[in-house]
Amino acid sequence: MTHTNRLDNLAIFSGIPAFTQKLHVGRPNIGDRDYFMAMIGVMLDRRWLTNNGPFAKEFERRMAERLGVRHFLAINNGTIALEIAIKALGLTGEVIVPSMTFIATAHALQWLGIKPVFCDVKPGTYHLDPACVEKHITPHTSWILGVHLWGQPCDIDGLQAIADRHNLKLLFDAAHAFGCSYNDRMIGNFGNAEVFSFHATKFFNTLEGGAVATNDDGVAARVRSMRNFGFVENDFVAYEGTNGKMNEAAAAMGLTSLGSVDTFIATNFRHYQQYGRELADVPGISVIEYDEAEQNNFQYVILNVNESMAGISRDELVEVLVAENVLARRYFYPGCHRLEPYRSDPTTNRDLPETAKVVEETMGVPTGTAVGPGHIHTICQIIRAAVTYAAEIRARKAQRLMATLV
């Protein structure tokens, strides 16, 4: 395609958008439709729609096997899974978390009356800085909640060492990290428990869904009971509980996704490589890398925009792409600590300079099975044109703004 070879052709300046339909980040991956529909038929025939049904049990068994973990407990979404894990593990007081994460990580704590203490990311990474964690430990700190952002495991060993030194425990938000490994062991096996999300926008979905994975039998028993109102057996409630059950349609979708998960990952990997190849010589634009010695799901292609080298800011680049119907996304702008209720609380809205930098420089671009190599080629051409004409784009935008002012 040659439509982006000239400045005038950019849609931001009244050119025709490169795509007639919007390309989203996180468009659902759909596995074998016939298999899914057949399972829905079976579900309706047997009139077993939820409450630890046969599909939910099968899903749990196969997921535990894939991760090599003792217990995999399916939950109705990732946020409830976090909340149940927090309750089952007995988190209290203050919990140290990164601000560079989806708001649900912080909200799950706050919702249960636990104070999230935000720490910065380690320079050059996107993950919780163990040195920052250690500085923020107080007598009220009970846990560290690490996040495997974009499927890159955080510094598990570094956090574990601090946890051991201070007698703290470790929970991980692994919402992005199903299918990823750390030191050749699958995510799901670390800390006292790990929590997954299978929301529609994650590469592996159960429509809505989540899970708690743990190798601790006691934790598993409490999660199992708490997701079902605290019931341990009929008419016997042992704990405070909630409704976190995964229904049969969701579990059927999970089994469907499981049938295609290796195809999803292979597609994501090809897309990640293509972006890396096609953008390799574009100044100031880099694709954040995954450790290819480990397993990864490659579900996020994240670009880092170095404004001084690219001549264009991340926000300007997003604007150029959105005009072309490429709905690139900022992650996780502006950081949890700059969102309510944390923003208005001087004890949670602290200065996190590395996080502030990362949320200004990173963006996600479309990948997954809803896009193909042709789409990605065009997206990369648009990015290349935006960088090539960065100065002219700025000048024209300024001119346009002036015109509206006179």
Piece of 100-108, 114-122, 287-295, 368-376 that binds ligand PLP (CB under 6 A): 100-108
Q: Which of 94, 129, 155, 173 lies at the binding interface for ligand PLP (CB under 6 A)?
A: 173
CB 88 within 8 A of CB 222: yes
Q: Which contiguous run of DSSP H or E holds residue 53?
A: none
- Quick one: tokens of 113? 């009356």
Q: In this complex, which beta carbon is closest to ligand PLP, that of residue 175 or of residue 390?
A: 175
- From residue 52 to residue 91, the character string flagging contacts with ligand PLP as x (rule: CB under 6 A) and all else as - is -------------------------xxx------------
CB 66 within 8 A of CB 181: no
H helix runs in 248-372, sequence order? 248-279, 307-310, 314-323, 353-361
Q: Which of 197, 225, 274, 286 lies at the binding interface for ligand PLP (CB under 6 A)?
A: 197
Number of residues located near ligand PLP, criterion CB under 6 A = 14
- Quick one: tokens of 371? 């896009």
- From residue 123 to residue 162, the character string flagging contacts with ligand PLP as x (rule: CB under 6 A) and all else as - is ------------------------x---------------
- From residue 317 to residue 356, the character string flagging contacts with ligand PLP as x (rule: CB under 6 A) and all else as - is ----------------------------------------
Distance of alpha carbon 353 from alpha carbon 120, whole angstroms: 7
State yes or no: residue 29 binds ligand PLP (CB under 6 A).
no
Q: In this complex, which beta carbon is closest to ligand PLP, that of residue 196 or of residue 275?
A: 196
Question: CA angle, corner 211, sides to 23 and 369, nearest 5?
Answer: 25
Distance of alpha carbon 195 from alpha carbon 179, whole angstroms: 13
| Per-residue b or e along 94-125, where b marks 16 or more CB atoms closer than 10 Å to that residue's CB | bbbbbbbbbbbbbbbbbeeebbbbbbbbbeeb
- From residue 232 to residue 271, the character string flagging contacts with ligand PLP as x (rule: CB under 6 A) and all else as - is ----------------------------------------
State the residues that interact with ligand PLP by CB under 6 A: 77-79, 101-102, 104-105, 147, 173, 175-176, 197, 199, 210
